[in-house]
Structure 1
Amino acid sequence: MYQRKLDKDIRCPLEYGLEIFGGKWNSRIICVLAAKKVLRYSELRKEMGNITDAVLASALKDLISNEIVVRKSYDEIPPRVEYSLSEKGESVVPILQSICKWSGIFYKDDNDHMMVHCQKCDYR
């Protein structure tokens, strides 16, 4: 498993926030879970589209360790695991919607490549 040579040097709350919900996949995972509420791994992967299993698993681990996503496993055969947003994760959604509204002012629409869950974002 990859380990950083140096610890991250986060010195401000903005850097902390961007570390947690910034990047390509974390914000998308949060938005999908906000829209769908509870998803199994395979359902989440299907909603995400072009993400690999390794990247999705890693992103989910990070989001779980940062208490943004809750992983609930059921003692059933076959095993069932569901993912949802925690209370902390739900609190991030308005921030992401605000960023989306701001970005919508400057972002050039490319409807051919827009992700399915992003079509639900009403930034206009």
Structure 2
Amino acid sequence: MTSKSFDRSDMVFLYVTAPDMEVARLIAGGAVRERLAACANIMPQMTAIYEWDGDIEEENEIIVILKSTSAAATALSEWITDHHPYDVPCILEIPLGRGNEPYVDWLRGQVAGATIPN
């Protein structure tokens, strides 16, 4: 890989937590079907420790990482909020910086609805 094919991109990750695998799959599959995300990774379990209404809570959660464009991030965040059971879902946008150009092109094409030839 040359440095030219590893360049800055407009891609972002949306980091989302879910209470269980059913919700994680709903968010991941729905976002990809709606073409708001190119793909999603689901990490099956983590422990979240946080304060809520004055109490320290500890819950098992699932991590969903959605790969999208910065232009689609707001619409994706709104879609997630509409389909998420939490009153205040964790949705964090993480800019990706540089990426492998052929993969980034594929991601862009998936979000735009285009087919990228091999």
TM-score if structure 2 supplies the norm length? Answer: 0.28
Q: Which has the higher strand share?
A: 2
More contact order relative to length (CA 8 Å, sep ≥ 6): 2
Q: Which has the higher helix share?
A: 1
